A and B are shown apart, each in its own frame.
Chain A
Amino acid sequence: MKIIKDKAIVEDSWTHYDGTGDIPAGDLIVPLAVWKEMDLSGRKVGLRLEPDDHPGDMVDDLDSFDLIAINFPSFNDGRGYSYAKILRDRFGYSKEIRAIGDVMRDQIFYMQRCGFNAYEVKADRDIKDALHAFDDFTVTYQTSADEAVPLYRRK
């Protein structure tokens, strides 16, 4: 599967696994419960966060993950934006933060400003088209995960 990572289209090296069936080979993105209960040693593990899983509840474990995937079951549920911001600013998480679920071109600009750097664009959408999202705006007012000072101080 192709994803957008660091503003480029790349082949994804990760596999989602929900804990049912045989454990696939390779690097896995799993829900918190699966990570807690199953032996996944010897591979890279990514954590899948649902909107109800607050990153603050797993601060001590964040180092164990090579990736955090934040799920948007519906694009209307905007909690994930705050979670990404908190992961970056508050908990200093510096590895990949990936948006999954209802991810479309029109949300990606905001997502990257909140600290996401990878996106699994919905399967029925043109991923090449989604790449244009980064160019929607060339100026922004506020500070953000990628912008330490507000516009008026930048100039």
Chain B
Amino acid sequence: MYIYNQHDQQIVEQRAAQFRDQVKRRLSGELKEDEFRMLRLQNGLYLQIHAYMLRVAVPYGLMSSRQLRMLSAIATKYDRGYGHMTTRQNIQFNWPNLEDVPNILDDLATVQMHAIQTSGNCIRNISADQLAGVARDEVVDPRPYAEIMRQWSTFHPEFAYLPRKFKFAFTGAKQDRAAIKFHDIGYRAVKNDTGDIGFEVYVGGGMGRTPMIGKVINSFVPEADLITYTEAIMRVYNQFGRRDNKYKARIKILVHELGVEEFTSRVDAEFAALGREGAVPLDRAEIERVSAYFTDPDYAELPDQCGALEQNLLDNKDFSFWYKQNVLSHKKAGYAIVNLSLKKPGVPPGDITDKQMLVVADLADQYSFGELRSTHEQNLVFADVRKEDLFDLWQSLRDTGFAEPNIGTMQDMICCPGLDFCTLANARSIPIAEKITRRFDDMDYLYDLGELKLKMSGCINACGHHHVGHIGILGVNKKGTEFYQITLGGDATDTASIGKIMGRGFPEDEIIPALEDILKIYIDIRTPGERFIDTYRRVGAEPFKAIYEEFSLRGAEL
């Protein structure tokens, strides 16, 4: 992974010092809260219902075991012994004291980490395909480019006070695992006919109250133009994005209001002008310097078939379920990709304790070259595990609680913090997620349901990505009571779609029965092997509306 040079290190240290001074001025009263607000947000510090929350950046989801040990130490020392993996591959601490935050930042800086731009109306920490570098369908490893863009966007002086937050995502694979069509800018690294690397650029995707699918505005931006082209997009947005209404301030609204054609022509004009003004193309030498940090680890030459593994799969049913569900094939023979499930009945999705972090760090050292990744589905990944080690690793993961064989099933739900933490929430989400995972805990049933993406948000800001859940749940509040709206048919991948609202919201006690009804209908009408999303696409929303009849038959009133 990327290792800081002295300049990178200096920048995070100077940031920590700057923030220490800002906190001091806030505590002395010199900075008013609304002035401090913008400053702390640019450093990932939110004020939540009970306490401050600090969001630490995990650039494109890549971490070393050493970094994870530091996160564990922070959880122990400054928090209540746990952290929370977010839907943008970062980690949050829910209970730090304001006075301690400068110390946390100093500690983070010692392991080349920071909280820069994890919030605020600026370019946020960049996310990427969690399988970058190891996926079989990868054309270009996007990580060097994501790192180059991390550096470019860090303290970009022109784009620190944008109309609204701004999110980049990168992939270089054929299959999109980074939801690039639901980001302000999504980049897919591709190769053209002559083998040159460039980017397909999607703009204006997003969730929130007006979900939109990003549009391709350029199908091949050569790598040398990556920065300048992005700068052109950012400058058009900074000048012309709406600032009169916070709900209309994202770039998706600008693209929508101008139309893709007009938006694109403004970007093209800005790009041309920047070129005339001496914009510096991205050097191949710099790409190579950064790429050198993302070369393959020291793989052993192994046969792809592993006799011991085959035997264990035959002998141990639980292991074989886990293998089938949580392990993916690797580009390198004899290796596998392992998902660590952070979804378990009784635990909020994405939570991980300080002790678990230490165990995971040790396991990463032992089995996966000392590195791990976080995913936007709030799980962790060991990207480079020898097949012959899988059985041992599985046993250790089981002891730590991360071997639930539920990746991709309905239990692998993503969920925002909701009313338990978030000041913007309309409804609780974690307790509902908990009810759902407890109710749907029969693995045979879950396997029978197959791939099913369930996503839940506690308000229309959609941090839990409910719009792109095959089944989405949205918390709403009507006259002081929490209700839950169900959407069906969302999809965050290449076949992107936005879920459709089924109708009025269900009271809390009715959400489980409603889910049961939806699944019953699906099982009745699916063709053999058909995924939920495909059934929905084939038959549409209509057959699922029957859930409302079932609902009134139970005597509940809408």
Contact between chains at A151 and B151 (CB < 8 Å): yes
Which one of A90, A111, A137, A144 lies within 8 Å of B277 (CB-CB)? A90
Q: How far is the CA of A77 from the CA of B159 in the complex (A)?
A: 11
Which of A54, A76, A149 interacts with B239 by CB under 8 Å?
A54
Interface presence of B283 (CB below 8 A): yes
A84 to chain B, nearest CB (A): 9
Are A138 and B10 closer than 8 Å at their CB atoms? yes
Interface 9-mer from A24-32, A35-43, A102-110 = A102-110
Known: A143-B280, A153-B283. A106 touches B158 (CB 8 A): no
Is B238 within 8 A of A106, CB to CB?
Answer: no
Closest Cβ of chain B to A112, distance in Å, is: 8
B39 to nearest A CB, angstroms? 6
Contact B121 A141 (CB under 8 A): no
A78 touches B280 (CB 8 A): no
- 0/1 string, B80-99, CB within 8 A of A gives 1: 00000000000000000000
* Contact across chains for B280 and A137 when beta carbons are under 8 A apart: no
Assess whether A94 is interfacial by the CB under 8 Å rule.
no
Q: Which residues of B contact A137 (CB under 8 A)?
A: 11, 14-15, 18, 155
Does chain A have a CB within 8 A of B293?
no
B157 touches A149 (CB 8 A): no
Interface residue? B38 (CB, 8 A): yes
List A contacts of B286 (CB < 8 A): 150, 152-153
A136 to B13, CA, bound (A): 11
- List A residues 112-155 near B (Cβ within 8 Å): 113-114, 136-144, 148-153
Interface range for A? 35 or more
Complex contact A113–B157 (CB within 8 A): yes
A82, B162: Cβ atoms closer than 8 Å: no
Q: Is the beta-carbon distance between A139 and B277 smaller than 8 angstroms?
A: no
- In the complex, are the beta carbons of A139 and B159 less than 8 A apart? no
Residue in B7, B10, B273, B286 with the greatest tally of chain A CB atoms within 10 Å: B7
In the complex, which range does the number of interface residues on chain B fall in?
Answer: 20 to 34
List A66-90 residues whose CB lies under 8 Å from chain B.
75-79, 81-83, 85, 89-90
Q: How far is the CB of A97 from chain B (nearest CB, A)?
A: 14
| Bound-complex Cα distance A37 to B162 (A) | 34
The answer on a CB contact under 8 Å between A75 and B161 is yes
Most A C-beta atoms less than 10 A away, residue of B39, B154, B239, B286 = B239
Q: State which of A138, A141, A152 has its C-beta within 8 Å of the C-beta of B155.
A: A141
Q: Of B154, B157, B238, B280, which contacts A153 at CB under 8 A?
A: B280
Evaluate contact between B152 and A81: CB separation under 8 angstroms: no
A141 touches B159 (CB 8 A): no
Nearest residue (CB) in A for B238 is A82
* In the bound complex, CA of A35 to CA of B7 (Å): 46
Residues of B with C-beta under 8 A to A113: 157-158
Asked if B14 and A110 sit within 8 Å, CB to CB, the answer is no
Which listed residue, B22, B152, B158, touches A82 by the CB 8 Å rule? B158
Q: B36's closest neighbor in chain A, by CB? A: A106
Chain B minimum-CB-distance residue to A155: B7
Residues of A within 8 A of B279 (CB): 143
Chain B binding surface SS class: helix
Contacts of A140 in B (CB 8 A): 11, 155, 157
Task: Please determine whether A81 and B283 come into contact, CB atoms closer than 8 angstroms.
Answer: no
Known contacts A110-B160, A114-B158, A153-B280; decide if A77 and B243 are in contact (CB<8 Å): yes
Cα–Cα distance between A136 and B42 once the two chains are bound (Å)? 15
Q: Nearest chain B CB to A47's CB is how many angstroms away?
A: 18
Q: Is B235 an interface residue (CB 8 A)?
A: yes
Please give me the residue from chain B that is nearest to A89 by CB atom.
B277
- Complex Cα distance, B154 from A110, in Å, reads 12
Kindly list chain A residues whose C-beta atoms are within 8 Å of the C-beta of B22: 106
Q: Does B504 contact A (CB under 8 A)?
A: no
User: Within B103-128, which residues are at the interface with A (CB < 8 Å)?
Assistant: 121
A104 close to B18 (CB less than 8 A): no
Cα-based distance from A143 to B280 in the complex (angstroms): 8
B 271-292 to A, binary, CB cutoff 8 A, 1 in contact else 0: 0010001111001001001000
Contact B35 A81 (CB under 8 A): no
Question: Which of A81, A104, A153 sits near B158, CB closer than 8 Å?
Answer: A81
Task: A138 to B239: give the CA distance in the assembly, Å.
Answer: 28
The answer for the CA separation of A138 and B157 in the assembled complex, in Å, is 14
Within 8 Å CB of A79, what residues of B? 238-239, 243
| Measured CA separation A117–B379 after assembly (Å) | 48
**Which A residues are CB-close (under 8 A) to B38?**
75-76
Contacts of A76 in B (CB 8 A): 38, 121, 161
Q: What is the CB-to-nearest-CB distance from A91 to chain B, in angstroms, rounded to a whole number?
A: 10
Chain B minimum-CB-distance residue to A102: B35
| Chain B residues whose C-beta falls within 8 Å of the C-beta of A151 in the assembled complex | 7, 151
The answer to whether A81 and B160 touch across the interface, beta carbons within 8 angstroms, is: yes
Residue of A nearest to B6 (CB): A139
A133 to chain B, nearest CB (A): 10
Q: When A136-B14, A141-B154, A150-B280 are in contact, do A77 and B161 touch as well, CB less than 8 Å?
A: yes
Contact A90 B14 (CB under 8 A): no
Find out whether the CB atom of B157 lies under 8 angstroms from the CB atom of A142: yes
When the two chains form their complex, are residues A139 and B160 in contact, meaning their CB atoms are under 8 A apart?
A: no
The 8 closest A-B pairs by CB, nearest first: A78-B161, A113-B157, A110-B157, A89-B277, A81-B158, A141-B151, A152-B286, A139-B7
Given contacts A77-B243, A106-B22, 4 further A-B contacts (CB under 8 A): A78-B238, A89-B277, A110-B155, A150-B152
Instruction: Report B's interface with A, CB cutoff 8 A.
Output: 7, 10-11, 14-15, 18, 22, 35, 38-39, 121, 151-152, 154-162, 235, 238-239, 243, 273, 277-280, 283, 286, 289
Q: List 23 A-B contacts (CB under 8 A).
A: A76-B38, A78-B158, A78-B159, A78-B162, A79-B238, A81-B159, A81-B160, A81-B161, A82-B235, A82-B238, A89-B278, A106-B22, A106-B39, A110-B158, A113-B158, A114-B158, A137-B18, A137-B155, A140-B155, A143-B280, A150-B286, A151-B7, A151-B151
